[in-house]
Chains A and B, each alone.
Chain A
Amino acid sequence: MQELIKRAKELLEDGTVARVLGWKAGDLPYNPEPAYFDSTESLADFVYNGFCGANLSKYLIEASKLEGKTLVCLKPCDTYSFNQLLKEHRIDRDKAYVIGVGCKGKLDIERIRKMGIKGIEQISGAEMEDAADTLTISTIYGERSCKFADAMLERCHVCKGKEHQVYDELIGESKETKDADRFAEVARIEAMTPEEKFAFFQKELSKCIRCNACRNVCPACSCRKCVFDSNKFDSAQKANVDSFEEKMFHIIRAFHVAGRCTDCGECSRVCPQGIPLHLFNRKFIKDIDEFYGEYQAGMDVNAQSPLTDFTFGDVEPGIVGERG
């Protein structure tokens, strides 16, 4: 982190960048917020630790409109989103100075809470420098600890790899944290009967409060105005009386980002109701991989996205029934 701050100061001072987009220390041990720093003094609040899960690439849409370059700290998985946004002309490569920051897995405070840990005062082991595999958490109710891996975000368990897809320079080491099959849960659901599937999603989606956090955090949902906010489809934006609306919202959202979703996992990270929203996107990714060949959005800026592409011999939609 100190190296990062030092480098950020240099780049600010020599005028390479006009501002730094990173994280600012929060008032609790686990809530750093995305923040801009436009002076070397302000960098005193800069922080980079295990709770800096936010994917900053989407902020570059606005930052691209500002005067001068923005230094942005991107974790390996964030760089896929950056590339995807670049491909869609939503951000300006010349306006960004990308520092690929190391990542050893990011933490999910909800998982820590789910372990019954509350009244948190301090958490040690979440700093990026030490590769701690145990978190020590002091709380009002006494000291607790947990495995780093157990507190990790779901997405880190299926990490896409520690390589940054795009960067101007790299700072810090990364560690691959993958210890689970990315599609295992999707496959588990696929194997259910229609009744079970329906019950599963009904249960999860009935929690949706339509707060739009998933949409607004999503780097693929970068529309100036979402279809759910415009009258083009007569589609209401806000919660409706019937739970139906939630189902449609999430399917349509997943469809709109199909082939563009990098599986960054932000939707599931931010959902206040803990709905595993990535299961929708990952289903599309799995299908695309199976039907049209493996495709990772954001890996190659020049690759044709699967939904704007075709081959003469593509599978027929009937395969869905035949597959059983």
Chain B
Amino acid sequence: MQRIGVFVCHCGSNIAATVDVKKVAEMALLEPGVVHAEDYQYMCSEAGQEKIIEAIREKNLTGVVVCSCSPRMHETTFRKAAEKAGLNPYMVEIANIREHCSWIHKDMEEATKKAVILTRAAIAKVNLNTPLKPGESRVTKRALVIGGGIAGIQTALDIADAGYEVDIVEREPSIGGRMSQLDKTFPTLDCSACILTPKMVEASAHEKINIYTYSEVEKVSGFVGDFTVDIRKKARYVDMDKCTGCGVCQEKCPSKKAPSEFNRGLNTRSAIYTPFAQAIPNVPVIDTDSCIKFKTGKCGVCSKVCQAGAIDYTQKDEIVSQKYGAIVVATGFDTIKLDNYDEYAYSQSKDVITSLELERIMNAAGPTKGHLERFSDGKAPKEMVFIQCVGSRCADDRGKPYCSKICCMYTAKHAMLIRDKYPDVNVTVFYIDVRTPGKNFDEFYRRAVEQYGVNYIKGQVGKVIPQPNGKLLVQGSDLLDNRQILKEADMVVLATAIEPNEGVRKIATMLTASIDTNNFLTEAHAKLRPVESPTAGIFLSGVCQGPKDIPETVAQAGAAAVKAIGLLAKDKLLTNPCTAQSDELLCNGCSTCANVCPYGAISYEDKEVNDHGIRETRRIAVVNSALCQGCGACTVTCPSGAMDLQGFSNRQILAEVDAICR
């Protein structure tokens, strides 16, 4: 039996004006286990806390009930006071007789009666409380960043600068990501490579950063502070240590027909290649699908021309296993496939291109060396049409329901750049809305209209019809003029919706991080925890969480880094002790609980148990208390009642129910 002390707070007159506090204390004394009851002006004051401490010491209290304001207000205060007196803080329960009683009832008798019942419920609960101790888990002082685009690079740099080891895993042969494909960036028109490349170099040179390119995350186990990740380093067939990056192999490679991924398939590359000139690491990979040596066994030119002897056709994929304390997801985005938008003739005409393709065309290192030309006949266009919201803001399943956020701005940028470089080209933009919230964004867009004479027409395009003369007939409508427009264009640029990179769902599953129907990773709280996943120790950086532009991505990357640093800076993690626990003698091992756990905190072990003399090996649910957040979903879904939640146990809640219904 517990020895319980009940402390009734007057809260000045906040409680005492409508609740007869003396009566509450008096009635509490009649409850089983209660050995002490008193009332006081302000329990939360220094003097009030002192009373609690004193009573705990003098009367050897094993449990405390404070009848006061909401536990959301002062539970921590009273728990700390109890701890000072040597009592386990989790032996304290609050009866909320202010917000839930004195403040809402006018009749003294009625309010007092209710206060007595609320107190009774708290006493009934404390009778079943057990001392709880926060668990501890160690923190591996190393972070993993999945994705080597600007988001991943920035996060890695920030974490590394704080003094922690960081690994970046990048699927492609080089880091750099989408940003490395861009020509100029809005709203300042900086050259993308000029601002990105130094960051890439800095990351690769940073002593705390280790980059795995051409690698993928294979397996994740463990939990916050103590993840174990297997990384598959795909065979490059080029020795990273020996290669000098001279580029001769790429020059001499006889197989040059593979479409260049980096240039969005607008031109070709060799079978041994680096995606772009500033690639980091500047070590090529062999694409075995197009390599003649791999396909026929004959060739080996690269090996012959390599002075460093770096070519190694026998290389195998390698699995690296590494421990991490925190994981940042920065997997970025791609543009959607346009198969569902036949009306824009993307697959019918080479002159209908996506904006990302236009970036490559406009880039001096791109397939046309920066010249704006039609891919059908190489001629310079005179009439250009941009179509906005292709696949964005779409209610049916042809496209995406969200706004891709970046298109308005990059289209303004493209239009402006074209008008600047080729003043004789007419540029028309068909838009639904122009969205420019951001610093200097609207000014930028207005400049495109006012200074560069870009023709903005409100109204979506219905159809693009390739003409026999090689032109593209764009059929749109001008909603403001109320007329239908038929316009012959030389090139049409589609502001294609963006979507999270494919494969992110697989990664999310491995990390047990939640993901929404659009494949964006879900944040722990939409407003207050936007860079954390609900799964502890997993952080979100960049577009994997939602569409955003470069400055926002970099800001979020920094924020994610700070969150990760905050975690890595701790030596040990204290875990919430109000976690679920499985009774191994009752557990069926049925996996139902794991199905509803939002945190992936439940795993199964084959464990030898002694069930009243029967010894056998059983499949038993084991809760990782470092991951468990204590929601209790598992406790209800468990058919045998093996799962219970500490601090809110079945018996505790039932005792409260009983006390209230008495």
Contacts and interface: CB of A to CB of B under 8 A. Distances in A.
A233 interface: yes
Nearest to B649: A232
B585 interface: yes
Contacts of A222: 588, 590
A64 to B, nearest CB: 11
B640 A308 contact: no
B641 to A, nearest CB: 4
In the complex, which of the residues B590, B604, B651 has the most CB atoms of chain A within 10 Å of its own CB atom?
A: B590
B18 to A, nearest CB: 34
Contacts of A225: 585-586, 640
In the complex, which of the residues A222, A232, A256, A307 has the most CB atoms of chain B within 10 Å of its own CB atom?
A: A232
B589 A223 contact: no
A148 B596 CA distance: 45
B64 to A, nearest CB: 24
Contacts of B484: none
B638 to A, nearest CB: 9
Interface string A295-324: 000000000110111000000000000000
Contact of A308 (B595, B611, B651): B595
A226 B639 CA distance: 8
A224 interface: yes
B395 to A, nearest CB: 15
Contacts of B158: none
B518 interface: no
Given A89-B619, A224-B585, A308 B637 contact: yes
B592 interface: yes
Contact of B586 (A90, A232, A260, A304): A232
A308 B592 contact: yes
A273 interface: no
Given A230-B586, A234-B651, A308-B596, A223 B591 contact: no
Given A89-B619, A232-B650, A224 B637 contact: no
Given A223-B639, A224-B585, A224-B586, A234 B592 contact: no
A307 B588 CA distance: 17
B532 interface: no
Contacts of B201: none
Contacts of B639: 223, 227, 256-257, 260
B654 interface: yes
A307 B636 CA distance: 10
A88 interface: yes
Contacts of B596: 308
Contacts of B167: none
A89 B603 CA distance: 13
A234 B640 CA distance: 13
A89 B605 CA distance: 12
B644 interface: yes
A267 to B, nearest CB: 15
Interface in A220-247: 222-227, 230, 232-234
Nearest to B592: A308
Contacts of B589: 89-90
A257 B596 CA distance: 16
Contacts of A309: 595
B443 interface: no
Contact of B641 (A230, A260, A304, A305): A230
A65 interface: yes
Interface string B402-422: 000000000000000000000
Contacts of B587: 224
A165 B588 CA distance: 24
B136 interface: no
A90 B590 contact: yes
Contacts of A305: 592, 595
B651 A90 contact: no
B616 interface: yes
Contacts of B595: 304-305, 308-309
Nearest to A258: B639
A227 B640 contact: yes
B591 A89 contact: yes
Given A65-B616, A227-B640, A308-B596, A233 B650 contact: yes
B644 A224 contact: no
Nearest to A223: B640
Contacts of B583: 232
A88 B587 CA distance: 12
Interface in B606-662: 611, 616, 619, 637, 639-641, 644, 650-651, 654
A218 to B, nearest CB: 11
Contacts of A88: 588, 590-592
Contacts of A90: 588-590
Given A88-B588, A308-B595, A308-B596, A227 B654 contact: no
B651 A224 contact: no
A324 B641 CA distance: 33
Nearest to A257: B639
A227 B650 CA distance: 11
Contacts of B590: 88-90, 222
A227 B641 contact: yes
A110 B306 CA distance: 89
A241 B592 CA distance: 34
A317 to B, nearest CB: 15
Contacts of A233: 641, 650-651, 654
A256 B640 CA distance: 9
Contacts of B637: 307-308
A223 B588 CA distance: 6
Interface string B555-594: 0000000000000000000000000000101111111100
Interface in A82-113: 87-90
Nearest to B658: A234
A29 to B, nearest CB: 38
Contacts of A230: 586, 640-641
A62 B421 CA distance: 80
A308 B637 CA distance: 7
A85 B590 CA distance: 8
Interface string B344-386: 0000000000000000000000000000000000000000000
A222 B642 CA distance: 13
A304 B583 CA distance: 24
Nearest to A84: B590
Interface in A53-73: 65
B609 to A, nearest CB: 10
A61 to B, nearest CB: 10
A251 to B, nearest CB: 14
Nearest to A221: B639
A224 B640 contact: yes
Interface string B94-121: 0000000000000000000000000000
Contacts of A226: 640
A319 B604 CA distance: 37
Contacts of B654: 233-234
A87 B619 CA distance: 13
B589 to A, nearest CB: 5
A256 B595 CA distance: 16
A60 to B, nearest CB: 14
A305 B644 CA distance: 21
25 contacts: A88-B591, A89-B619, A90-B588, A90-B590, A222-B588, A223-B588, A223-B639, A224-B640, A225-B586, A226-B640, A227-B640, A230-B586, A230-B640, A230-B641, A232-B583, A232-B641, A232-B651, A233-B641, A233-B651, A234-B651, A256-B639, A257-B639, A305-B592, A305-B595, A307-B637
**A-B pairs with lowest CB-CB distance, top 6:** A88-B590, A223-B640, A308-B595, A232-B641, A227-B641, A256-B639
Given A227-B640, A233-B650, 17 more contacts: A65-B616, A89-B589, A89-B619, A90-B589, A222-B588, A223-B640, A224-B611, A224-B640, A225-B585, A225-B586, A227-B641, A230-B641, A233-B641, A256-B639, A307-B637, A308-B592, A308-B595
Interface of B: 583, 585-592, 595-596, 604, 611, 616, 619, 637, 639-641, 644, 650-651, 654
